[in-house]
C-alpha cells in the first residue's frame, strides 16, 4: 500500500472524473427512474481498476491508499451517487477477501472481482439486528467439512446480481466472539433472494433480502479463524464509513456546483438570485460545510493508511459529519433551485434522496456519535 504522489493522484482523479462524466452522469437519471442496475458499466469501472482500489496487485488490485480512495469516490459520486456507493460496497468485499483470505481463496475469487466481471455483496444486517451487529442470529452449523447456513440478511446491496456473498454468521457462542465470515458463491443450493425493495433512493442498485435455507459450503470458505467475523466486519466498516462519506461529499459538491450556476442565471425582480445577500451567505455556508467534510475524511483516511490506533473513531467522526453536512448541502441546493429543484430532470432531488440513506448505513450517525464519545471518554481519540 502506498500514498500516490500528487501528480499521480491528479492524473488518477482526472481519469475517474472522465469516467464519471461520460459513463455515469448522462444515464444517472434514467437508471434511477427505471431502477436499472448497470452491470455493463460496472465492468467498465473494473477495467479502470475500480473493482479493487486498495486490493493487492497480485490479484488484479490497484493497491492504492485510502487517501486515494477518498478522492476517487468523491469523483464517482459526481457522476452517480448510487453507483459510487455500490462500488464502495463491492470494494469492501474485495478488501475482506484480500486481507483475511488465504492464498487459495484470494486466487479463486479476487481476479474476477477486481475486474468487476463478478460482483460482490456484504451480508451483515438482519431483520432484527441492525446497529447491534453482535446480535445476529444467522447460524452456520458445522457438519464435518461443511457449514450449513440458515438465516436471513436484510438490506443487501447487489443481492441477486452478485456472484460472491461475504456472510457474517454465528458459528459459536452468543455475542461478537461467536461470529465468523464465510464466502457463499451465487448458485449455491438453498440461497435465495427477496424482491427488490422499493426505496426512497438508491434505485439504480438492487436491495434485497438474502435467504439461507440449509446452504452448504465447505469450511474452506471461511475467512480467517472461526470467531474472527465480527472483527473483520468492524474493520471493513471503518473503510466503508470513509468511502460513504466521500460519496456523500461528491454528490453534494455536484449539487452545489449546479446551485452556483443556477443562482447566477435565474432572475427574480429584475436581478439574478446571486444579488440576494441571503443567497450568497447560504452558498458560503454550503462551501464551508463541504470543505470541512473533505478535510475530516482525508484525516480519517490518513489514519487508516498509517494504521493509527484512533482510526476507528476518526472514521466514525468523519462519516457522521460528512453525511450530515452533505445531505444538508444537497437539500439547500434543492431549495435554491425552487420548484425546479423538485423536478426529476434537474437531478437535484435524486441526489437528495440518495444521500439520505448515508446517514443510516455503515452504522447510523447516532452510533457514530457513540463511538466518538466513548473514544473521547477513554482518552483514545
Q: Burial of 44 by CB count in 10 Å (0-12 exposed, 13-18 middle, 19+ buried)?
A: middle
> How far apart, in Å, do the first and last CA atoms of the chain sit?
24
**Which residue's C-alpha cell is 472514521?**
315
| Residue corresponding to grid cell 456473498 | 165
Q: Which residue, among 203, 198, 196, has the nearest Cα to 80 in the 3D structure?
A: 203
Contacts of 151 (CB under 8 A, 6+ apart): 126, 136, 137, 138, 139, 169, 212
Query: What DSSP element (H or E) covers 184?
Result: strand 179-185
Active site residues: 362
Return d(Cα 324, Cα 131) in angstroms, integer: 18
For residues 341 and 354, give the distance between their C-alpha atoms in angstroms, rounded to a whole number. 15
Q: What is the C-alpha R_g of the chain? A: 21
Give the DSSP H/E element, type plus range, for residue 347: none
Asked if residue 366 lies in contact with residue 372, where contact means CB atoms within 8 angstroms, the answer is no
Residue of 89, 87, 105, 92 whose CA lies nearest to 182 = 105
Letter string b/e over residues 67-80, b meaning 16 or more CB atoms within 10 A of that residue's CB:
bbbbbbbbbbbbbb
Cα atoms found within 13 Å of the Cα of residue 50, Cβ hemisphere only: 29
Amino acid at each position: 500500500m502506498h500514498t500516490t504522489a500528487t501528480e499521480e493522484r491528479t492524473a488518477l482523479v482526472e481519469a475517474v472524473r472522465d469516467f464519471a462524466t461520460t459513463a455515469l452522469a448522462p444515464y444517472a437519471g434514467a437508471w434511477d427512474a427505471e431502477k436499472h442496475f448497470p452491470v455493463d458499466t460496472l465492468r467498465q469501472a473494473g477495467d479502470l481498476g475500480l473493482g479493487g482500489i486498495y486490493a493487492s496487485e497480485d490479484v488484479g488490485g490497484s493497491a492504492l491508499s485510502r487517501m486515494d480512495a477518498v478522492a476517487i469516490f468523491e469523483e464517482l459520486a459526481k457522476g452517480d451517487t448510487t453507483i459510487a456507493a455500490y462500488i464502495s460496497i463491492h470494494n469492501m468485499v474485495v478488501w475482506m477477501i484480500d486481507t483475511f483470505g488465504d492464498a487459495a481463496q484470494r486466487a479463486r475469487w479476487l481476479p474476477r472481482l477486481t475486474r468487476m466481471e463478478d460482483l460482490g455483496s456484504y451480508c451483515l444486517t438482519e431483520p432484527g439486528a441492525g446497529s447491534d451487529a453482535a446480535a445476529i442470529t444467522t447460524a452456520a452449523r458445522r457438519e464435518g467439512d461443511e457449514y450449513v447456513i440458515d438465516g436471513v440478511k436484510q438490506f443487501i446491496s447487489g443481492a441477486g446480481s452478485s456472484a460472491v456473498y461475504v456472510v457474517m454468521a454465528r458459528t459459536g457462542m452468543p455475542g461478537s466472539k461467536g461470529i465468523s465470515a464465510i464466502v457463499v458463491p451465487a448458485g449455491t443450493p438453498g440461497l435465495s433472494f427477496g424482491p427488490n425493495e422499493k426505496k426512497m433512493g438508491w434505485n439504480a442498485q438492487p436491495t434485497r433480502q438474502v435467504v439461507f435455507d440449509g446452504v452448504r459450503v465447505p469450511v474452506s470458505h471461511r475467512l480467517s479463524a472461526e470467531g474472527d467475523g465480527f472483527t473483520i466486519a468492524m474493520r471493513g466498516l471503518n473503510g466503508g464509513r470513509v468511502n460513504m462519506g466521500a460519496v456523500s461529499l461528491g454528490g453534494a459538491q455536484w449539487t452545489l456546483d449546479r446551485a452556483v450556476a443556477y443562482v447566477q442565471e435565474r432572475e427574480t425582480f429584475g436581478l439574478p438570485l446571486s444579488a440576494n445577500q441571503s443567497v450568497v451567505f447560504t452558498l458560503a455556508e454550503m462551501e464551508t460545510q463541504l470543505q470541512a467534510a473533505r478535510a475530516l475524511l482525508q484525516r480519517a483516511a490518513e489514519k487508516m493508511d498509517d494504521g493509527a490506533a484512533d482510526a476507528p473513531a476518526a472514521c466514525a467522526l468523519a462519516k457522521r459529519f460528512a453525511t450530515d453536512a452533505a445531505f444538508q448541502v444537497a437539500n439547500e441546493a434543492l431549495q435554491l433551485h425552487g420548484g425546479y429543484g423538485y423536478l426529476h430532470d434537474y437531478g437535484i432531488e435524486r441526489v437528495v434522496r440518495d444521500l439520505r440513506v448515508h446517514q443510516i448505513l455503515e452504522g447510523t450517525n447516532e452510533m457514530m456519535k457513540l463511538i466518538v464519545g466513548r473514544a473521547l471518554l477513554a482518552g483514545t481519540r
